[in-house]
Amino acid sequence: MTRIRYGWSLIWNIWSGINWSGGPACRGGLRLDFNVVLKDIGFQLVSAVPEIYVETSGPVQYKVDFLMNPHRLIIDLWDVTLTGPALTVPGNETWVKSIRVSQFDPQTIRLVLDIKEPRNCVVGIDETNPARLLIKTMTELLEATWHPDGDGGRLVLKGSGRLPAEPRYDPKTGKLYIRIPQTKLGDALQAAAGADAAGSVFKLREQDSSTVEVELAIPRGHDYSVTWNQDRREITVEVKNAPLSGKVIILDPGHGGADAGAISPSGLREKELNLVVALRLKQKLEALGAEVLLTREDDRYLWLYDRVAIANRAGGAVLLSIHANNHDNRKIHGLEIWHHPDRSESAVLAKALAEAVLARTNQHFRGIMASKDFVLPREAQMPAVIFEMGFVSNQDEEKLLKTEEFQDKITDGISQGLIAYFHTPAGQ
């Protein structure tokens, strides 16, 4: 079978001579593969750096050469047809004097960029459009600065153009590697390449002629986040203390739905208080790096065994069931923590929570108590406690429990108690 390529401009000249069978190729006949055509060429007006686009009717292959004296960038597009005469596109007066476009041979369009001065540039396919070729000067990494903040800080990277960074954390080395393709180090940073910077917090290196890598040490017990500004010319890596990183903590706001729990003389419902405190605690634990799951996040009823099943399926490190207490004697008040008597780790957890919360609330403490009757501490497959914040039946304690200030003290105490629990060596 004969295989011939033609440009779109020749289609009608040969159409009448084709024995068309409706398939991609005629059996024993002629197969036609039409070239793609040049649709448009010009400058990206919204680009922060010189950027040229070449748009075709389909994906293309290309080859790039550079010639000196005069300086020219040559780009050949294969299997592409120019449907009109050769043309010249005026330059943008910053880098390119003009762009000359011509049909170099029947299968190739040649673009000649007359440039004012040699610059490192990148030619590649647009990530969002495979039929669009982009030609742009290479982005320079202009600044890399570390801003300490407590026991963490921020690394700020600034480029002359977009920084298409690819972050990768290596748990073996405890370092974050940020690969920035189509970028080179600016003159001010060339001397810092490969050397320690800012007390060995980060390093810079050029992996090759068009890729920069940033290496940032992430201290143990810390977490990080990578963000870009709106035009993606600035990257911020925030490193913060995260002593609960990697810990899955299950919070169980007691009662819910038809089960209101205890109701104070003024009408405070325990189910609502439990959920408010649990949600406040969730925010604080997540800020410390923990992954937090709630058995309920709204006003719904859950069977006790359903709550345990949720915790066991999640495989949490600990389970805290948040409650408020009630008693017929309205003078009774204070904090209680319950665990199963046969679970020694639950007792250790209860002790750590009690010490941290009492140090912040100065509450009356009724003690760490043990019972085999409670479902959650008995059935949970991880250390588990029932945390009784206080008595809503006591007028003074009810007023405290309703205030954000007191809820903050309790949740701060629980957070610090969990840190102490997870960082206490076994047997101590």
- Which regions of the chain carry the CATH code 3.40.630.40? 248-422
CA atoms of 327 and 425, how far apart (whole Å): 38
CA atoms of 233 and 142, how far apart (whole Å): 10
CA atoms of 261 and 268, how far apart (whole Å): 10
Q: In whole angstroms, how far apart are CA 262 and each of 49, 117, 336, 338, 367?
A: 65, 79, 15, 17, 20
Q: In whole angstroms, how far apart are CA 285 and each of 240, 251, 290, 338, 359?
A: 13, 11, 6, 21, 18
Asked: is 35-137 a CATH 1.10.1040.10 domain? The reply is: no
* Cross-sheet strand order for the sheet of 166-170: 166-170, 175-181, 211-217, 202-208, 196-197
**Burial 70-101, CB ≥16 within 10 A → b, else e:** eeebebbbebbbbeeeeeebebbeebbeebeb
* Tens place of pLDDT per residue across the chain (428 aa): 333 333 333 333 333 333 343 444 445 555 555 689 999 998 876 555 668 999 999 999 999 998 988 999 999 999 999 988 999 999 877 788 999 999 999 999 999 999 887 777 888 898 889 999 998 888 889 999 999 988 889 999 999 888 988 999 998 999 999 999 888 898 888 876 655 544 568 999 988 778 999 999 998 888 899 999 988 899 999 998 889 988 999 999 999 999 999 999 999 999 999 999 999 999 999 989 899 999 999 999 999 999 999 999 999 999 999 999 999 999 999 999 999 999 999 999 999 999 999 999 999 999 999 999 999 999 999 999 999 999 999 999 999 999 999 999 999 999 999 999 998 765 45
Residue type, position 403, single letter: T
Residue 192's pLDDT is 67
- Which regions of the chain carry the CATH code 2.60.40.3500? 35-137, 139-241
- Report whether 60 contacts 78 (CB < 8 A): yes
For residue 338 the two structure tokens come to 């319950």
Quick one: fold of 248-422? Answer: Aminopeptidase (3.40.630)
Quick one: fold of 139-241? Answer: Immunoglobulin-like (2.60.40)
Q: What angle do CA 246, 249, 252 make, to 5 degrees?
A: 165
